[in-house]
Amino acid sequence: MSKRLRIAIIGGGPAGCTLARLLHLSSAPTSVTVFEREQHLHDRDQGGTLDLHDETGLAALRSAGLADTPEFTAIARYDGDSMILCDKRMHRWIDLKSTKDGGWFAEGKPEVDRLALRKLLLDSLPEGTVVWSKAVAKVQLSTDGTSAIVFTDGTKESGFDLVVGADGTRSVVRPLVTQAEPFYSGVGGWNMLCPNAAMTRPILTGLVRRGSLFAYSDGKSLMGQQLGSGDLYITMFSLKPEDWQRNSGYDVNNPKAVKSALQEEFKHWAPELREIIASIDESKVWPRNLMTFPTGIRWDSKPGVTLMGDAAHVMCPFVGQGVNAAMADALELSKAIEATLDGQWSKESLYGHIQQYETTMWDRVYKAQKLTEDMIGLMLLTPGAPANVIEKYVVRATTDNMNVILSSIWGIFIWLYYLFIKTLNRF
């Protein structure tokens, strides 16, 4: 009889649930349990919307048998890929209509609310796969090659052949493989909400056009994204000292105080952008310090344990790479586990396949980390952005997968286009 690999996934976010779903569908003999510290799906703010990329997030959903289901079709908004990037005067440096509205430059990638995506993945798992309210205190590696998990409620489970840390930025699994810790990126701010925007703020809804609006100036960003629920998800991030939440001079958890402070801070921005701040729900705000890992981080592999998603490579959410990278991790790790069980199973073969998975992950994620780092540098750290750097921004955002000749031709076109725009508008 073949060995049934016992796997513990720590964390029931998109990465952990995607891996559990893929292993559930696999013919490889595995026993999978997901331990989630939250009490239920709605225990915390899940964030706004994201675009699923064909080669990462969508590829994982296709392998998981979910991409063509009615449940996914119901939450995938192919009309949500419109995008405006502007400055504080509301000058539009990028203005892409949705592909549904005839926009031929938009990429046609489906927008999905993070909450809806997580629910889709959770609902696809057999009952009992996810154990809620089970926070992990530590993981113990045994001399026999198995692992034990100690929970904060004092209980303990042993005998796991593989423990996967999918437990986010503050991972309790990570210290088993690396002493590296995420650090503050220098960018902080709020996640906020405008409920039922079509009814309460129709002008703002028309501006966002079912997609996204990104405004940058003076080291600040103000963003509005359409959610499938009809709400607008609003984020405001800027360059801040790490202790800004303690020393802001007001309660950063008090929505009315935050709204008042932001109205003052953005009083010289265009009226359309101040409308975003005016729309904020006065019942809830979520202050955040954005954390990141050093670009290109690696570690020495260790038998019986690995990382994925934000636990392995957290990055700032400015280019939509985090969840896509996490779901690609899940797809690649599931293949590594299947390959282990296809042959003569042993601890050594599992270790070897995990090493291969981690090497592939590092190489793939490096591009996403570098892109995120470069975009923050261009839009938040460069004086005069976006006007001074828009050409570099567009070229950097679009040429990662182009060959040298095509990227050179595209780069020349972009520079000439914006030279014309700036001359016409005398920027």
- Which one, of 24, 18, 26, lies nearest residue 340 by Cα? 26
Whole-number pLDDT of residue 266: 96
Whole-number pLDDT of residue 63: 97
Whole-number pLDDT of residue 1: 37
pLDDT along the chain (427 residues), means of 10: 82 97 93 95 82 93 96 91 94 88 64 94 97 96 88 96 96 95 96 92 90 96 93 95 96 95 96 94 93 93 95 92 95 95 83 96 95 95 96 94 94 95 84
Whole-number pLDDT of residue 341: 85
Contact indicator for 218, 212 with CB cutoff of 8 Å? no
Whole-number pLDDT of residue 256: 94
Residues 6+ apart with CB under 8 A from 423: none
Query: 68-123: per-residue pLDDT in tens?
Result: 999 999 999 988 888 999 999 999 999 998 877 766 554 557 899 999 999 999 99
pTM of the predicted protein model: 0.93
Residue type, 424: L
Query: 368-404: per-residue pLDDT in tens?
Result: 999 999 999 999 999 999 999 999 999 999 999 899 9
